[in-house]
Structure 1
């Protein structure tokens, strides 16, 4: 698929001002254009590089977001007091049964979950999956942080034009939902809509959740347990490290199948390559891309999401990306992004230490240097978005 671009080339999208959808404050304009100049400083750990490009900082949004604590264990995407929990449980018991077309009643029960432990982290043991990340409590924390980071960066939870549909009551599928952060926020904000989250491991909540939200264990590389045309909106985010090159067509075909005529499908993926970086981050990203290719995963699939949607017949396809800065220099968004990078390094540590044949101490030294470089070079990452519409049914 896509080819890596030079780290010297900022790739900021031209985005309109996006109004906040999560009541976090006044609308915020996302930074996009950055001018460059040459830095005379360069550092090295494990590898040396020649000149490093350094760019001046832009203004970063300062809108208040979900309070940051020392540990993301204190964060919950759907905060419920004890009284609210009781009301939710009570209302849930009185709530009519979910739409039958959204419940996988006729599909066989999933096989019992199997796990393996590597360096103290729990990983799924799903046959045929090359997914690099763990499925434990620490991973739940990491996914929550990523959710808050993206929500802050775009001042909302989605870019597809689905607000009216969600307000009026839509059937929504959250593919690879993880701990359900996105599903539960959408369900809480749009009580008329029905949310279904699916993931191959049961990291999602089983009890405390909005009454219009349910979760099902299902593997996205297999046929989904839903009828054709079941959903008004299908959302899939951060699955690139679990989908092999030849599986992308199968996955997108299934998303289109379960979408109703006229429904919207939105894809969100991060970019393995980071920008305005020092030698340590460049070394890490280059070696990570090699590991992904060795597992038949495309490190740059995020840059071709729109082409996948067009290939599978969607219309009105739009593609864009936002640049999320990392480091104290970039305010709250920079803090969230840096926290996400730190958690990402930790999550990948068991697999990458094995792949690179290095000790945990060597890995820790490299990633610590990467985090320090983010502030020095004012580094950032790109997050890609693409959405499109399934062709409406033809009228007689």
Structure 2
């Protein structure tokens, strides 16, 4: 995939995407809108990271989802992917289930549209301010990794909106990161502290994944199932550990702008700490990250 240059993105600073304005900082394109809590970049480097992340989770989950929707998907239903990013999950699902229709939404236009299947539609939409769909529009709604994209209030309102656009007995599935390294080495612990400080300053909750089941229950969802994952970082974790280390090598530089703008960490201090974590400690400590997969029915 060709990498879009910083200059090309700089020319788009004043361009709005789904009423979202972007800015360039540290060579990365970031949302610059009071209605957008998302604090990671939205650019082609991030597209690469999200592809690796998607491939990792296909392996960890032994598939693309856990909800009991296979038969319905084969017959043909409508599916919404909230915060789809480039749309890797949407595209894989569309290829697997050609009789179903898939809609992917994201506040930034980084969609992969080459050879777009006829059963896929991408829309620019900020899930943090509501879903522009009619009641009961979808049979299955999928959402993942919006811990750095939705404030605490937006997370709850997003779940309520998902319930609204779901048909009766429709399914919801949420996969979420917990921003806290387990068995953290010194450098990883420092990085976690910085990220949590930055997120707190923007009204984001590093541990929202631990609360999703309660949010779904409060919203009135039924048959809630909650699965915990502990994903290793580094060679000690075998192939998944190597894959997740490769993802961290893209994710932690992506977080740099957020950390250095919203905490006291300097760019040099952050770079040195990340190098220590990824080059040294990922090979000498058994560090991991927790995730939770929660799925339920309306």
The TM-score normalised by the length of structure 2 is 0.91
Q: Which residue of 1 aligns with 2:30?
A: 123
Q: 1:150-173: per-residue Cα shift (whole Å, max 9, x none)?
A: 111111111111111111112100
Within 5 Å, give how 1:378-389 maps onto structure 2: 378-389=286-297
Q: Which residue of 2 aligns with 1:251?
A: 158
Q: Which residue of 2 aligns with 1:58?
A: none
Q: Does 1:241 align with 2:148?
A: yes
Structure 1 residue 377, shift from structure 2 partner: 1.3
Q: Which residue of 1 aligns with 2:72?
A: 165
Q: Which residue of 2 aligns with 1:133?
A: 40
- Is contact 1:305–1:385 with CA below 8 Å preserved after alignment? no
Provide the C-alpha distance between the structure 2 equivalents of 1:178 and 1:111, rounded to a whole number of angstroms: 14
Within 5 Å, give how 1:320-339 maps onto structure 2: 320-339=227-246
Q: 2:209 aligns with which of 272, 297, 302?
A: 302
Q: Which residue of 2 aligns with 1:182?
A: 89
Q: 1:95-147: per-residue Cα shift (whole Å, max 9, x none)?
A: xxxxxxxxxxxxxx975552100011111223322211011110111111111
Provide the C-alpha distance between the structure 2 equivalents of 1:167 and 1:116, rounded to a whole number of angstroms: 42
Provide the C-alpha distance between the structure 1 equivalents of 2:264 and 2:220, rounded to a whole number of angstroms: 44
- Is contact 2:236–2:286 with CA below 8 Å preserved after alignment? yes
Q: Which residue of 1 aligns with 2:132?
A: 225
Within 5 Å, give how 1:26-65 maps onto structure 2: none
Structure 1 residue 227, shift from structure 2 partner: 0.9
Within 5 Å, give how 1:345-384 maps onto structure 2: 345-371=252-278, 372-384=280-292
- Is contact 2:31–2:39 with CA below 8 Å preserved after alignment? no
Q: Which has the higher contact order (CA 8 A, sep 6+)?
A: 1
Provide the C-alpha distance between the structure 2 equivalents of 1:181 and 1:224, rounded to a whole number of angstroms: 20
Structure 1 residue 322, shift from structure 2 partner: 1.2
Structure 1 residue 197, shift from structure 2 partner: 0.2
Provide the C-alpha distance between the structure 2 equivalents of 1:211 and 1:226, rounded to a whole number of angstroms: 20
Q: Which residue of 1 aligns with 2:218?
A: 311
Q: 1:63-106: per-residue Cα shift (whole Å, max 9, x none)?
A: xxxxxxxxxx49xxxxxxxxxxxxxxxxxxxxxxxxxxxxxxxx
Structure 1 residue 361, shift from structure 2 partner: 2.7
Provide the C-alpha distance between the structure 1 equivalents of 2:142 and 2:108, rounded to a whole number of angstroms: 18
Q: SS of the residue aligned with 2:169?
A: strand
RMSD across aligned positions (CA): 1.7
Q: Which residue of 2 aligns with 1:284?
A: 191
Kindly tell me: are residues 309 and 211 of structure 1, through their superposed partners in 2, closer, same or farther at Cα, counting changes over 3 Å? same
Q: Which residue of 1 aligns with 2:100?
A: 193
The unaligned stretches of length 5 or more in structure 2 are: 3-15
Q: 1:245-296: per-residue Cα shift (whole Å, max 9, x none)?
A: 2222211110000000010001110110111221111121122112211211
Provide the C-alpha distance between the structure 2 equivalents of 1:374 and 1:328, rounded to a whole number of angstroms: 8
- Is contact 1:309–1:387 with CA below 8 Å preserved after alignment? no
Structure 1 residue 355, shift from structure 2 partner: 2.4
Aligned residues: 284
